[in-house]
Amino acid sequence: MEISDKIKCLYDKDTKNAYANLQELKSISENEDILSPYLNEFIAMLKSEKYVIRIRGFRLICKQAK
């Protein structure tokens, strides 16, 4: 699955699938710097009406800051 597809899955109503993708993206962030081009997408997630999506975006932004 492509990185962009994994990010799209973060919006999924299936929380298990979304959480699994979040964990995988966080793991990728620790090993490689390939998610920085998606930083604007993570920032946009902070404006979501849904709390869980805001939290997912925030967690990925924090990983990018490391």
pLDDT above 80 for 66: no
Count of domains for the chain: 1
Rg over alpha carbons for the chain, rounded to the nearest Å, is 11
Average pLDDT on 3-21 reads: 92
pTM as predicted: 0.88
Average pLDDT on 3-25 reads: 93
The dihedrals phi and psi of 57, each to the nearest 5 degrees, come to: -60, -45
The model's pLDDT over 26-56, given as tens digits with 9 standing for 90+, comes to: 999 888 889 989 999 999 999 999 999 999 9
47 CB-contact burial (10 Å; exposed 0-12 / middle 13-18 / buried 19+): exposed
Residue range of the domain that includes 14: 3-65
